[in-house]
């Protein structure tokens, strides 16, 4: 009797927790605070897309914060390019979540850690696909359009092969740039002004200059960055952003940055 | 006390001293050595590295390929100040026994079913596994004085012993139930990482059961000292192990003070019995443990007994539901998953309290 009472109490609390954890009917775009690296999570109802996984398992904490606790399925994981600060955390993600699709630029890092990742993807039977310019993915009501590269080349710099992703939900549009160089970004054309730009390469000057910002005319710029020895984000880049009076948020200052959109307008979640 | 007893104590004591001096490592700084060994305790995890201790040397390895408790490894490196520098992992063999594999599969299942930090919390409470606890969660555990719950601690063994005796006593006379219970306790000790606190508790429980079985009056202090000496005779390096020291200080402190504190808190209402027990136990243990924690980790939380009182009642429940959910889950994942979800309100409460 006592046990039954305890069991029912737990069940009731569980149901209440589940109710409170249920996602809303809006799009939530979260730049995870994973230190120096990238991990961007898009959540729409029960659908999730994770773009890059940061350098280590810190991405798991972000997933725990923004996914309902019972949801162990991530519909799409995208790796923009196989650098450690983008794929490192994905190994644990593949181990712990049921990932349905894995999208990458088709190249591999040639490191021991990346071998572990490939084994995990292969062993779980996750659907794999290589993406390039023109690839389109639909998840729920979210569309991903790949804007670059034309063709990933083994002999090119890893960042040159970085996938650039145009994420659309209704009229809301975000460009996730990975570590793509400004030479590539400056040639891309999207609808301007753009709602959301994930600044390339943690705010490095290799990824952004005045032309880049003029090209996208972003309403909001997000920099995914942590403690590092490269001088990210670059002083000059920050100065251009300030001069342009562009609203800029940094993960090393704000933690997870969550933007919500109903498909018409968007706002920053406090 | 009879002469014979004195001699036993003396021999044991001398044996510890002899073992201490005879097992000290023979290599010097600058030596290039190759260590081939089984990983006998769970490696400590950092964000970008993991640390193991083999042959008395600290070894920092990259995260991948993974090396875990029970694996057979061969590592080459240069000795420098108690560390093996420039380590090169030559081979890792996961051919662990059935218990190691069971442990790994259970932990993997928790991680697959529950989000962090709940998965780590359940794995820590059920199996003493502290690998993959995120740094931020570990920090709040330490700050609130609740870290003992997730590291392998003697409390787990006490629960297992109590549970086994209660179940076995349904089918066997009490005296006969003791033997399978002792076997069960030691199986659990291996399963949960075979670290000093677990072994301490398992050894003391075994000795207490043995005293019961042969009808001897047992003295808690004798059992405490005897188990400590036997452990040190087997592995003298435990003398420098914080876990070893903490578990013995905590136990002594409990034995000394819990009776008195219980009398002191006689005014607490009966209705909050869960809360009271946690408060009394952690207060009694803190008296001895707090100074050591302060010296080794530089921290001490005045509210720690209160925090412990608020969360300790969830621990046996998490342990039982977690164990059942995990074992069922290895056979029928869907059912195991449903059982484990029942644990979520408890771990939610636990994580909420310690992060305040």
- How far is it, in rounded angstroms, from Cα B201 to Cα B157? 6
In tens, the pLDDT along A70-84 reads 899 999 999 999 999
Q: Of B150, B206, B207, whose CA–CA distance to B180 is shortest?
A: B206
Which residues, given as ranges, of chain B have pLDDT below 50? none
Calculate the alpha carbon distances from B325 to A12, A21, B171 in Å: 19, 22, 24
| List of chain B residues whose C-beta atoms are within 8 Å of the C-beta of residue A96 | 111-112, 119
- How far is it, in rounded angstroms, from Cα A83 to Cα B99? 37
Contacts 24+ apart (CB under 8 A), B286-293: B286/B145, B286/B253, B287/B253, B287/B256, B287/B257, B288/B249, B288/B250, B288/B252, B288/B253, B288/B256, B289/B246, B289/B249, B289/B250, B289/B253, B292/B242, B292/B245, B292/B246, B292/B249, B293/B145, B293/B246
What pLDDT score does B218 carry?
A: 65
Is B37 part of the contact surface with chain A (CB cutoff 8 Å)? Answer: no
What pLDDT score does A63 carry?
A: 94
* Beta carbons of A95 and B108 less than 8 Å apart: yes
In tens, the pLDDT along A30-61 reads 999 999 999 999 999 889 999 999 998 889 99
Which residues, given as ranges, of chain A have pLDDT below 70? none
What pLDDT score does A241 carry?
A: 92
In tens, the pLDDT along A117-136 reads 999 999 988 999 999 899 99
- How far is it, in rounded angstroms, from Cα A258 to Cα A264? 17
| List of chain B residues whose C-beta atoms are within 8 Å of the C-beta of residue A11 | 342
- How far is it, in rounded angstroms, from Cα B246 to Cα B290? 10
What pLDDT score does B298 carry?
A: 65
In tens, the pLDDT along B63-117 reads 878 888 778 889 988 888 778 888 888 888 876 678 888 888 999 999 999 998 8
Residue of B nearest to A58 (CA): B134
What pLDDT score does B41 carry?
A: 74
Beta-sheet strands, E only, within A66-152: 73-78, 98-104, 127-130, 136-139, 142-148
| Alpha helices for chain B (secondary structure H) | 3-22, 98-113, 118-127, 135-144, 147-150, 154-168, 174-191, 196-213, 220-234, 242-264, 273-297, 304-311, 314-331, 333-354
CA A191 to mean position of chain CA atoms: 20
What pLDDT score does B160 carry?
A: 87
- How far is it, in rounded angstroms, from Cα A202 to Cα B277? 51
Q: DSSP class of residue B83?
A: E
What pLDDT score does B163 carry?
A: 85
* Beta carbons of B65 and A116 less than 8 Å apart: yes
| List of chain A residues whose C-beta atoms are within 8 Å of the C-beta of residue B111 | 95-96
- How far is it, in rounded angstroms, from Cα B79 to Cα A88? 30
What pLDDT score does B155 carry?
A: 81
What pLDDT score does B96 carry?
A: 65
Handedness of CA A202, A131, A125, B338 (dihedral sign): positive
* Beta carbons of A14 and B341 less than 8 Å apart: yes
Strand A73-78 and strand A47-51: the pairing is parallel
- How far is it, in rounded angstroms, from Cα B308 to Cα B280? 10
Contact in structure between A147 and A105 (CB atoms under 8 Å):
no
Is B133 part of the contact surface with chain A (CB cutoff 8 Å)? Answer: no
Contact in structure between A111 and A84 (CB atoms under 8 Å):
yes
* Beta carbons of A17 and B66 less than 8 Å apart: no
| List of chain A residues whose C-beta atoms are within 8 Å of the C-beta of residue B346 | 10
| List of chain B residues whose C-beta atoms are within 8 Å of the C-beta of residue A70 | 341
């Amino acid at each position: 009797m006592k046990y039954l009472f305890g069991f029912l109490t737990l069940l009731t609390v569980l149901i209440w927790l589940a109710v409170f954890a249920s996602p809303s009917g809006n799009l939530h775009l979260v730049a995870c605070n994973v230190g120096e690296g990238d991990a961007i999570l898009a959540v729409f109802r029960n659908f999730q897309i994770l773009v890059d996984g940061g350098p280590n398992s810190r991405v798991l904490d972000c997933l725990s914060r923004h996914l309902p606790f019972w949801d162990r399925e991530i519909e799409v994981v995208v790796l923009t390019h196989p650098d450690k600060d983008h794929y490192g955390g994905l190994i644990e993600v593949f181990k712990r979540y049921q990932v349905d699709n894995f999208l990458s630029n088709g190249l591999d890092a040639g490191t021991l850690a990346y071998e572990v990742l490939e084994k995990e993807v292969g062993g779980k039977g996750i659907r794999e696909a290589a993406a390039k310019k023109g690839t389109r993915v639909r998840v729920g009501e979210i569309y991903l359009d790949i804007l670059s590269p034309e063709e990933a080349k083994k002999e090119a710099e890893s960042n040159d092969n970085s996938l650039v992703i145009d994420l659309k939900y209704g009229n809301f549009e975000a460009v996730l740039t990975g570590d793509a160089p400004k030479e590539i970004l400056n040639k891309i054309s999207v609808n301007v002004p753009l709602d959301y730009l994930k600044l390339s390469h943690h705010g490095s000057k290799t990824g952004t200059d005045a032309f880049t910002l003029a090209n996208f005319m972003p309403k909001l710029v997000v920099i995914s960055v942590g403690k590092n020895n490269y001088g990210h984000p670059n002083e000059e880049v920050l100065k251009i952003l300030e001069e342009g009076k562009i609203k800029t948020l940094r993960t090393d200052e704000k933690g997870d940055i969550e933007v919500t959109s109903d498909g018409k307008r968007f706002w920053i979640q406090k | 006390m009879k002469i014979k007893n004195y001699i036993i104590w003396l021999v044991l004591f001398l044996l510890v001293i002899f073992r201490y001096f005879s097992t000290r490592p023979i290599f010097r700084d600058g030596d290039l050595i190759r260590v081939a060994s089984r990983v006998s305790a769970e490696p400590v995890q950092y964000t970008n590295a993991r640390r193991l201790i083999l042959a008395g040397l600290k070894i920092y390895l990259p995260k991948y390929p993974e090396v875990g408790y029970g694996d057979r490894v061969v590592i080459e490196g240069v000795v420098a100040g108690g560390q093996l520098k420039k380590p090169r992992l030559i081979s890792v063999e996961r051919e662990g026994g059935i218990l190691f594999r069971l442990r790994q599969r259970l932990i993997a299942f928790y991680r697959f079913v529950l989000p962090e930090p709940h998965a780590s919390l359940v794995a820590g409470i059920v199996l003493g596994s502290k690998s993959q606890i995120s740094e931020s969660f570990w920090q709040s555990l330490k700050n609130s004085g609740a870290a003992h719950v997730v590291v392998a601690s003697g409390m787990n063994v006490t629960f297992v012993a109590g549970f086994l005796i209660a179940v076995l006593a349904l089918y066997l006379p009490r005296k006969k139930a003791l033997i399978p219970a002792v076997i069960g306790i030691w199986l659990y000790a291996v399963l949960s990482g075979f670290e000093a606190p677990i072994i301490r508790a398992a050894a003391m429980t075994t000795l207490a059961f043995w005293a019961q079985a042969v009808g001897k009056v047992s003295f808690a202090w004798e059992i405490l000292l005897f188990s400590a000496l036997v452990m040190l005779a087997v592995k003298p390096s435990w003398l420098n192990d914080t876990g070893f020291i903490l578990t013995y200080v905590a136990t002594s402190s409990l034995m000394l003070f819990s009776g008195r504190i219980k009398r002191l808190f006689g005014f607490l209402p009966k209705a909050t019995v869960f809360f009271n027990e946690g408060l009394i136990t952690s207060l009694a243990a803190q008296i001895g443990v707090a100074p050591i924690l302060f010296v080794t980790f530089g921290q001490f939380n005045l509210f720690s007994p209160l925090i412990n009182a608020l969360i300790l009642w969830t621990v046996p429940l998490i342990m039982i539901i977690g164990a059942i959910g995990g074992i069922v889950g290895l056979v029928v994942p869907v059912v195991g998953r449903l059982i484990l979800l029942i644990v979520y309100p408890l771990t939610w409460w636990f994580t909420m309290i310690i992060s305040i």
